[in-house]
């Protein structure tokens, strides 16, 4: 069960080849943010997972993505002014994208698995007019840091080191690790899921979330 209304996360979860359904978590994410961006990402993901009631044969999958710039967490911009501010701050600089992933097994045991995936991202030196056009399109407002790595029109990222799907918002490799730890039957992934990122999940998932 996916605790998210994000169409990107829904598309990526389909890579697992398992039956699943959507049950978006309605929480006030700000209540679970902490000083450390890494801990915050996992704390919010755990809160989302615990907000969902799952049956005994279900596993709740929840995720939260944070952009960390110089140790400061950037969430989703709330308005155009904040989107402009975030994108200007990120321009031409490196930052870390952190996604907390939490899995919670339904039933009386309620086993929990959690992890955080980090990807180092370098933004290109885009211009103010490009920021304005991107914000006008309405793209930044449901994305941590105000940008989508997969947006071919804006193309904000010049390079990255690590998991590509983590930057999109759901590192499928981490979900697979969690499912296996909770005893979900094998058959997830396979030869396509190589261990060194970007792995086979990144290659298979990139076309599913492409923009533009």
Q: Which of 28, 35, 36, 64 is catalytic?
A: 64
Neighbour-count burial of 8, counting CB atoms closer than 10 A to its CB (0-12 exposed, 13-18 middle, 19+ buried): buried
**What's the CA gap between 82 and 94, in Å, rounded?**
19
Q: For the chain, how many helices (H) and strands (E)?
A: 7, 5
- 125 classed as catalytic: no
Q: Is the backbone of residue 26 left (phi > 0), alpha (psi -120 to 50) or beta?
A: beta
Inter-residue contact 26 to 62 (CB < 8 Å): no
- In whole angstroms, give the CA distance from residue 128 to residue 130: 5
Burial of 56 (0-12, 13-18, 19+ CB in 10 A): exposed
Q: Which residues contact 44 (CB under 8 A, 6 or more apart)?
A: 27, 29, 32, 33, 64, 66, 100
Could you list the active site residues? 64
């Amino acid at each position: 069960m996916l605790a998210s209304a994000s169409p990107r996360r829904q598309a990526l979860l389909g890579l697992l080849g398992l039956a699943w359904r959507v049950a978006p978590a309605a929480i006030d994410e700000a209540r679970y943010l902490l000083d450390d961006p890494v801990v915050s990402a996992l704390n919010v993901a755990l809160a989302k997972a615990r907000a969902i009631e799952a049956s005994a044969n279900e596993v709740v999958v929840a995720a939260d993505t944070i952009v960390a710039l110089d140790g400061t967490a950037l969430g989703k911009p709330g308005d155009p002014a904040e989107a402009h501010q975030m994108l200007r701050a990120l321009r031409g600089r490196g930052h870390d994208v952190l996604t907390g992933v939490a899995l919670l097994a339904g039933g009386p045991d309620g086993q929990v698995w959690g992890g955080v995936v980090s990807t180092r991202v370098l933004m290109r030196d885009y211009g103010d007019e490009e920021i304005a056009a991107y914000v006008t399109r309405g793209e930044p407002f449901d994305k941590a840091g105000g940008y989508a790595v997969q947006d071919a029109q804006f193309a904000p990222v010049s390079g990255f080191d690590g998991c590509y799907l983590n930057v999109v918002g759901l590192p499928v490799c981490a979900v697979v690790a969690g499912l296996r730890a909770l005893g979900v039957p094998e058959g997830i992934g396979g030869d396509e899921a190589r261990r060194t990122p970007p792995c086979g999940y990144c290659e298979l998932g990139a076309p599913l979330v492409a923009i533009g």
